[in-house]
Amino acid sequence: MAAIAVLAMALIWLDSHAPWLQPLRNATGYLILPAQKVAAIPAAMADWFGESAAARQELQAENKKLTARNLILETKAQRLAALEAENIELRELLSASEQIDDRVLVSTLIAVDPDPYSKQILIDKGSEDGVFLGQPVLDAYGLLGQVVDVLPRSSRVLMIADSNHAIPVQVNRNGVRAIAAGTGSLAELELIYVPNTADIQQGDLLVSSGLGGRYPKGYPVARVDRVENIPGKPFASVTARPSAHLDRSRHLLLVFQQGSGQVPPETLWRKQ
């Protein structure tokens, strides 16, 4: 070790007092440059990885923030879409109420019977609002059903698609009468006991006939979807699609027929 130290001191003295060694010193610098660069690689890589890790963490944090913000915006957009759809439904309901001569009360659907064989719904108006048994219920597109149970602040409505429901109807085109019975499907009604000779065609609009006094006359009920005459049988097979949106309407109209004796509270019924 002492010899190495003495040699180093000698080289330092020669480097300071022997200018003729400068070319050798320069040449030596060129020779050791690759080794210096190789020696610097670990430190450079450590710096690069450190910066990359920091940048990656920053990007991950920013990505999480953007993901959360995007989720919030998507949720708001969905809510706005729902509000827009509800606004459209309310406008259509208002337009329908303006075309009704009878007094009406606006109600909202609050529950659907989970029984797959029962087509009943619960609405947010009851006896305190003047609702009565048998009261007709409409949406913005047609007859939806009738009230079958009344509580103080809610009522149960039997929809026209229920298999236990039937309503007298007539063809709007020519006045031919029939009975539209529920099939248990929200998308289909069946016209029962229709003679093969009856003038009923696909696309005919069926409206309430008013017979029986339960439903007011002239409200849309369904549109004929299929007419099939079966050879050898006296009655045709006729199906129709309900006009009311039984599977989606949320805001409904309770109808108080003129002269029925049933009058809703003055603060709730809508004058035409």
| CA-wise closest residue to 239 among 251, 249, 227, 229 | 227
* pLDDT per position as a tens digit, 173-209: 998 999 999 999 999 999 999 998 899 999 999 999 8
113 and 92 belong to one structural domain = no
90 and 131 belong to one structural domain = no
Can you spell out the DSSP letters for 177-192? Answer: EEEEEE-S-TT-EEEE
Chosen domain end from 82, 98, 114:
98
Mean pLDDT of 38-47: 65
Q: What's the domain count of the chain?
A: 2
Residue 165 lies in a domain: yes
271 and 239 belong to one structural domain = yes
Residue 266 lies in a domain: yes
Mean pLDDT of 115-139: 92
The per-residue pLDDT for 251 is: 87
Residue 19 lies in a domain: no
The per-residue pLDDT for 218 is: 85
145 and 66 belong to one structural domain = no
Report the mean per-residue pLDDT for the chain.
79
113 and 176 belong to one structural domain = yes
Residue 271 lies in a domain: yes
Beta strands (DSSP E) in the chain are 103-112, 120-123, 136-138, 143-150, 155-159, 166-171, 177-182, 189-195, 205-208, 220-228, 235-242, 251-256
Mean pLDDT of 231-260: 86
Instruction: Please say if the pLDDT value at position 125 is more than 90.
Output: yes
76 and 175 belong to one structural domain = no
The per-residue pLDDT for 272 is: 36
89 and 211 belong to one structural domain = no
Mean pLDDT of 240-250: 92
Residue 5 lies in a domain: no
Query: Cβ distance 217 to 236 under 8 Å?
Result: no
Chosen domain end from 98, 117, 132:
98
Provide the residue range defining the domain that includes 166. Answer: 103-272
* pLDDT per position as a tens digit, 74-86: 655 555 555 555 5
Residue 44 lies in a domain: yes
41 and 162 belong to one structural domain = no
Residue 176 lies in a domain: yes
94 and 110 belong to one structural domain = no
Whether this prediction's pTM lies above 0.75 is answered by no
Whichever domain contains 120, its CATH number is 2.40.10.340
51 and 131 belong to one structural domain = no
The per-residue pLDDT for 192 is: 94
What's the start-to-end Cα distance of the chain, in Å? 114
Residue 163 to residue 198: CA distance in whole angstroms:
24
* pLDDT per position as a tens digit, 63-120: 777 776 766 566 555 555 555 555 665 566 666 555 555 678 889 999 999 988 899 9
Mean pLDDT of 47-67: 72
The per-residue pLDDT for 160 is: 96
- Tokens 């000779």 sit at which residue? 197
Residue 2 lies in a domain: no
163 and 223 belong to one structural domain = yes
Chosen domain end from 98, 133, 158:
98
Query: Cβ distance 172 to 204 under 8 Å?
Result: yes
127 and 259 belong to one structural domain = yes
Strand duo 205-208 + 189-195: pairing: unpaired
